[in-house]
Amino acid sequence: MRHPELARALETAAADLGADAVEAKLERPAVLEHGDLATNLAMVLAGRLNRKPRDLAQNLIERLDLGSLDVESAEIAGPGFINFTLSRDYLRRRVRDIADANRDYGRADWGEGKAVNVEFVSANPTGPLHVGHGRGAALGDAIARLLEWTGHRVQREFYVNDAGAQIENLVESVHARCRQLSGQDAEVPEGGYHGEYVTELARELQNVHGERLDGPWGPEEQREVRDFVLERMQAEQRDDMRAFRVEFDEFRTESSVYGSGQIDATIADLDQRGLLYEREGARWLGTSSFGDDKDRVLVKSDGSYTYFLPDIAYHRDKALRGFNTAIDVWGADHHGYVPRMKAAIEALGLGTDFFEAVIVQLVRVERGGEEVKFSKRAGEFVTLRDLIDEVGTDVTRYFFLERGSQQQMVFDLDLAKERSEKNPVYKVQYAHARLRSVYRRGGIDPNKIEHDVDLTPIVEPAAFEMIKTLLDFPEVVEAAAQNREPHRVVAYLEELANQLNSWYHAGTRDESLRVLGQEPSVTAARLTLARAAEIVLRNGLEILGIEAPEQM
């Protein structure tokens, strides 16, 4: 909960006592008895001013005009905390602010319109997306949403590695299946793709081309099949992403980087900066002067490029396109790649803040306590499509977003399929639906709920606890956006849902605590609070890309 006036007053008081340019931090104490807000300012200043913290706290308090700051009491506690209890009227007023802000509550403008490119998923077009991609997709999209909520201009981007050897590998695998389908002896090559979908591709090709593809393939056939396979796989991945409620603004292909002359431009750029050198017939980039373990090859001795070079060119292009920041969501197996990319970015003179990598750890899927390893269609892994089909987009996104991305996670299918409040997704969605249903039962149009009503009928301590949680929302959004950590929003929503549900359930035991059927003034006040809670639940779910249902 923010209280800028109080924070400023504390800073002024600190300056009066001889400590200027300090920032007064206010936080919600963990225990009720410690009031509504607390500051450790006196303890922070004690060392600097060489004074006793508790005395300092006393001096600070004396310099505050408590009444005008809506502070009812300010108490010194423990080693030197100052615990503030705010007037109930202040809290009630701020409920009204939430209802007024409505869909904008939680939004901020500190992003100052900066352009951020968020690149995620970026799967090879060689097969269906798997659960790991799903986690990256949920994370990348939620980060994008968080940045949008905090005043950034965001582009969601998917990098398609359509030029690598893996495509040829898939084409060879399809070739083998084609021959098998026509009754010939053929083996999927070593390290090839074995999933059922490869056979599907072969079958489709046969339907189109008949027997033409049964024999050996010349360059013509190779190219045709390659194009076909690329298009099919990309289309499928796009469909999966759409089903997962992720819309990319841009699919950038590796081949377009090759075709645009940016490789040469990148080489020239680095060369001009004197960071390239030749050794053993290869061209190296001196990444080790920018924090990398060792220098890296860009052009191999046979004249071909390493994977690294087009990747640098691609990221350089992000800067040329005008982005202030490029965030990449990468799987944990690529984390070792981060230092060299950061080094390359710095070598290009783009600074240390332009590029950011968010690492997402592995997902293990379990059913009945046992790991689920394979999907029928993909063979070696569980596909995202399997998860969506089985438990739905909302649940899948929520589960992926619930944990810190650096945390390896277990996806518990049994819990995910549970359609009760045991399942945290439903608990949060129920909380929202419940409030919508209160409006329906009361024949109330939520958009016409009067905010400017007398809120003094709100007196229950539980209600004020919930109000304080509602007031925390903008700070949670800010911290989540700054740290690229959507899971903070999830944890917050679960806490809010718990409070809301228990506020609501109190009415099933004691009718006088219900929203509807009270004195008109009481119902009106509680409706405004309900509205504020509904708004926060809805806005929070929107940040996660999860639906806020009218009813369950």
Within 133-192, the residues that bind RNA by CB under 7 A are 161, 163-166
Residues 247-286: x/- map of binding to RNA (CB under 7 A)?
--------------------------------xxxx----
* Pairwise CA distance, residues 445 & 442, whole Å: 9
- Among positions 4, 420, 445, 510, the unique one binding RNA when judged by CB under 7 A: 420
Minimum distance from residue 300 beta carbon to RNA (Å): 3
The interface region with RNA, picked from 100-108, 214-222, 316-324, 486-494 by CB under 7 A, is 486-494
Segment interacting with RNA, rule: CB under 7 A, options 12-20, 138-146, 452-460, 501-509: 501-509
**Binders in 361-400 for RNA, by CB under 7 A:** 361-362
Nearer to RNA, 207 or 304 (CB): 304
Minimum distance of RNA from residue 437's CB (angstroms): 14
What is the identity of the amino acid at 62?
Answer: E
Using CA atoms, how far residue 185 sits from 168, 169, 197, 214, in Å, is: 20, 18, 20, 11
Shortest Cβ 454–RNA spacing (Å): 28
Phi, psi of 506 (to 5 degrees): -55, -30
> Can you give 376-403 as a three-state secondary structure string?
CCCCCCCEHHHHHHHHCHHHHHHHHHHC
- Smallest gap from Cβ 461 to RNA, in A, equals 13
Task: Choose between 213 and 466: whose C-beta lies nearer to RNA.
Answer: 466
C-alpha to C-alpha distance for 57 and 68, rounded to whole angstroms: 19
Closest approach, Cβ 16 to RNA, in A, equals 21
Nearer to RNA, 96 or 340 (CB): 340
- How does DSSP classify residue 369? T
Which one of residues 31, 113, 219, 447 is an interface residue with RNA (CB under 7 A)? 31
Return the sign of the alpha-carbon dihedral for residues 242, 248, 250, 254: negative
CA gap 108, 2 in Å, rounded? 13
- 497-510 per-residue burial string, b: 16 or more CB within 10 A, e: under 16: bbbbbebbeebeee
CB of 200 to RNA, least distance (A): 23
Which residues on adjacent β-strands are paired with residue 252? 159
485 binds RNA (CB under 7 A): yes
d(CA 546, CA 541): 5
Which residue, 123 or 348, has its beta carbon nearer to RNA? 123
| Contact range with RNA by CB under 7 A, out of 90-98, 146-154, 269-277, 477-485 | 477-485
Tokens linked to 139: 């994370």
Q: Compute the least distance from the CB of residue 277 to RNA, in Å.
A: 12
Which residue among 5, 20, 27, 187 contacts RNA (CB under 7 A)? 27
* Minimum separation from the CB atom of position 14 to RNA (A): 14
Listed in sequence order, the residues at least 6 apart from 31 whose beta carbon sits closer than 8 Å to its beta carbon are none
Q: What is the nearest approach in angstroms of RNA to the Cβ of residue 82?
A: 8
Beta-bridged to residue 365, according to DSSP, are 372, 411
Alpha-carbon gap, residue 422 to 414, rounded angstroms? 11
Among 236, 356, 494, 547, binds RNA (CB under 7 A): 494
Contact between residue 188 and residue 282 where contact means Cβ atoms under 8 Å apart: no
Of the two residues 403 and 538, which places its CB atom closer to RNA in the complex?
403
* Shortest distance (Å) from residue 58 CB to RNA: 15
Window 42-101: residues binding RNA (CB under 7 A): 43-44, 46-47, 53, 77-81, 83
Indicate the residue among 213 and 486 with the shorter CB distance to RNA.
Answer: 486
Closer residue to RNA, CB minimum distance, 343 or 453: 343
The reply to whether 410 sits near RNA by the rule CB under 7 A is yes
| Cβ nearer to RNA, comparing 110 with 307 | 307
Task: State the nearest-atom distance from the C-beta of 247 to RNA, in Å.
Answer: 25
For helices 219-243 and 165-181, the axis angle rounded to 10 degrees is 100
Among 92, 179, 252, 296, binds RNA (CB under 7 A): 296
Nearer to RNA among residue 89 and residue 333 (C-beta): 333
Residue closer to RNA (CB basis): 193 or 453: 193
3-state SS, 20-77, equals CCCCCCEECCCCHHHCCEEECHHHHHHHHHCCCHHHHHHHHHHCCCCHHHCEEEEEEE
- How far, in Å, CA of 196 to CA of 378, rounded? 6
CA of residue 379 relative to chain centroid, distance: 29
Is the separation of the CB atoms in 246 and 134 below 8 Å? no
- Output the CA–CA distances (angstroms, integers) from residue 50 to 41, 57, 76, in the order listed: 14, 13, 18
* Of positions 73, 260, 352, 502, contacts RNA by CB under 7 A: 502
> Using the rule CB under 7 A, which residue among 7, 11, 22, 28 binds RNA?
28
Tell me which residues in 505-544 interact with RNA (CB under 7 A): 505, 508-509
Min dist CB 322 to RNA, Å, is: 26
DSSP 306: P
Q: Which is nearer to RNA, 81 or 354 (CB)?
A: 81
Binding letters toward RNA, positions 322-341, x by CB under 7 A: ----------xxxxxx----
Site string for RNA, 222-251 (x = CB under 7 A): ------------------------------
How many whole angstroms separate alpha carbon 536 and alpha carbon 539? 5
